[in-house]
């Protein structure tokens, strides 16, 4: 069967993970691909080796794209919609699609798509583990970056057979250029404040809601009844709604009753697992974890996954690296790595979940929005706050405004770990919960988390 991309000339901007994956898949489908990246060649040595292996032309060191004869433009999620490239492509009549739109068009397997401000990766991986427990051929991919789980959605879609299922974490940026992306199950876990360096709050919320945009009555939209942003996003969906709530019972969807996680779907009520199963995992602390579990359980129920498979997967869930990751207990002090915490809402949820006096390491590059949720959480839950990074002054000002003054500074994360360890006593928890992006001091949140873990290891 000839693919719709056979013989088409395709420009892909961005030679990171998704760009190279799209190039590989489109070349395999008969497309004529040209890769572009504005970085100089010396910073893209590995990527250029891969492009050569694929037989793909690569252009580096320029922000420009030659759209002459181009049929399709696939931009990296990192390219902002304000880039002149998009206007030029539109003027020339070139179709623009994101990598996830491309993935949907080629996928033979149904897709479960999960987005939200916080909890995306944990919910995506947990959902995948539940399907695996029920013997589904399962692909966990998309925007997820957790240890070995770094499978771009387009590669998962190219590999998956019709009897498989794809569980995908979807970012806001990936939703900017979709035209028919229609997951069988779509979830907006929550909408808070994030990425204000690129979008207004209204734009950000509207992009999150696009995950429901092309669903039909044959699909399911999962909506967090406890989060106004999620509820608002789900108002216009045409799919069957499954609400989930840790606070109240729902007519259709997931809820908690008498210690049981239940789902009502298509006239049936299923006891999927228990709150004790959630606690048993040891990696799902805090009330926000109950919301993540409820979303995962609703997604599984839409595919009629057996309750015993759900309960077993929840109990045995090992968590995700850099997300409330228990690193060590040293001298009676628990050390937790939550480097993926990159906004004030995630910060508040992180330290709220700690069931002991918390010495908190925070800071980095603030991405915009109110710091008040973080400041209020520090006042309520923290024993001491150690600040690092370029936004330390801004965070300290917000925290002191709430009446909290047990604050110190460190010039590096390693120094912050040593300082936190000197303050903590047996029974306390030291948690890295930055509440900020990592790029002022580190290559990525993974790099930041690894530095934290290495520093904790040296305390021994």
What pTM, to 2 d.p., does this model score? 0.88
pLDDT of residue 396: 97
**Rg of the Cα atoms in the chain:** 22
Give the domain ranges of the chain.
Answer: 9-96, 101-316, 325-459
Rounded to whole angstroms, how far apart are CA atoms 238 and 350? 34
pLDDT of residue 195: 47
Residue for token pair 């030291």: 430
Tens digits of per-residue pLDDT, 341-395? 998 988 998 998 898 899 999 999 998 888 998 999 999 999 999 999 999 999 9
Q: Which two tokens stand for residue 335?
A: 């050390």
Q: Which two tokens stand for residue 281?
A: 């995992």
CATH class, 101-316 region: alpha beta
Domains 101-316 and 325-459 share a fold: no
Identify the CA nearest to 278 among candidates 265, 263, 299, 297.
Answer: 297
Environment class of residue 144 by beta-carbon count within 10 Å: exposed (0-12), middle (13-18) or buried (19+)?
buried
Q: What is the CATH number of domain 325-459?
A: 3.90.190.20
Rounded to whole angstroms, how far apart are CA atoms 99 and 104? 9
Tens digits of per-residue pLDDT, 403-446? 999 999 999 999 999 999 999 999 999 999 999 999 999 999 99
pLDDT of residue 78: 83
pLDDT of residue 430: 98
φ, ψ for residue 293, nearest 5 deg: -65, -45
pLDDT of residue 196: 53
Identify the CA nearest to 194 among candidates 167, 177, 173.
Answer: 173
CATH class, 9-96 region: alpha beta
Task: Report, as ranges of residue numbers, the positions in the chain whose pLDDT lies below 50.
Answer: 195
pLDDT of residue 330: 97
């Amino acid at each position: 069967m000839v693919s719709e991309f056979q013989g088409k000339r395709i420009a892909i901007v961005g030679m990171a993970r998704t760009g190279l994956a799209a190039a590989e898949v489109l070349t395999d489908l008969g497309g004529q691909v040209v890769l572009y990246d504005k970085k100089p060649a010396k910073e893209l040595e590995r990527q250029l080796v891969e492009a050569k292996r694929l037989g793909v032309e690569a252009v580096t060191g320029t922000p420009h794209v030659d759209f002459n004869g181009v049929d399709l433009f696939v931009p990296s999620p990192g390219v902002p919609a304000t880039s002149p490239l998009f206007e030029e492509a539109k003027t020339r009549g070139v179709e623009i699609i994101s990598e996830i739109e491309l993935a949907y068009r080629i996928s033979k397997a149904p897709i479960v798509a999960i987005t939200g401000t916080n909890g995306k990766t944990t919910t995506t991986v947990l959902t995948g583990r539940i399907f695996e427990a029920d013997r589904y051929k399962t692909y966990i991919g998309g925007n997820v970056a957790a240890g070995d789980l770094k499978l771009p959605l387009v590669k998962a879609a190219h590999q998956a057979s019709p009897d498989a299922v794809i569980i995908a974490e979807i970012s806001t940026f990936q939703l900017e250029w979709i035209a028919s992306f229609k997951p069988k199950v779509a979830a907006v876990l929550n909408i808070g404040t994030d990425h204000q360096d690129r979008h207004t709050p209204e734009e950000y919320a509207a992009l999150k809601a696009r995950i429901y945009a092309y669903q039909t009555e044959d699909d399911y939209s999962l909506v967090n009844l406890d989060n106004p942003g999620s509820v608002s996003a789900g108002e216009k969906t045409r799919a069957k709604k499954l609400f989930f709530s840790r606070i109240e019972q729902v007519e259709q969807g997931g809820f908690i009753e008498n210690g049981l996680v239940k789902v009502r779907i298509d006239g049936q009520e299923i006891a999927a697992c228990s709150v004790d199963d959630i606690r048993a995992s040891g990696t799902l602390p805090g009330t926000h974890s109950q919301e993540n579990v409820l979303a995962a359980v609703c997604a599984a129920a839409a595919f009629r996954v057996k309750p015993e498979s759900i309960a077993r997967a929840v109990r045995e869930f090992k968590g995700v690296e850099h997300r409330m990751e228990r690193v060590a207990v040293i001298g009676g002090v628990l050390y937790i790595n939550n480097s993926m915490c990159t906004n004030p809402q995630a910060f508040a949820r992180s330290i709220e979940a700690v069931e002991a006096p918390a010495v908190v390491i925070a800071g980095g590059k603030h991405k915009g929005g109110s710091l008040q949720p973080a400041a209020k959480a520090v006042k309520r839950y923290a024993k001491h706050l150690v600040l690092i990074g370029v936004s330390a002054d801004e965070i300290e000002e917000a925290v002191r405004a709430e009446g909290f003054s047990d604050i110190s500074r460190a010039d590096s994360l390693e120094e912050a770990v040593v300082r936190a360890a000197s303050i903590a006593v047996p029974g306390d928890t030291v948690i890295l919960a930055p509440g900020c992006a990592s790029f002022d001091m580190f290559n990525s949140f993974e790099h930041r988390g690894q530095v934290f873990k290495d520093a904790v290891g040296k305390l021994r």
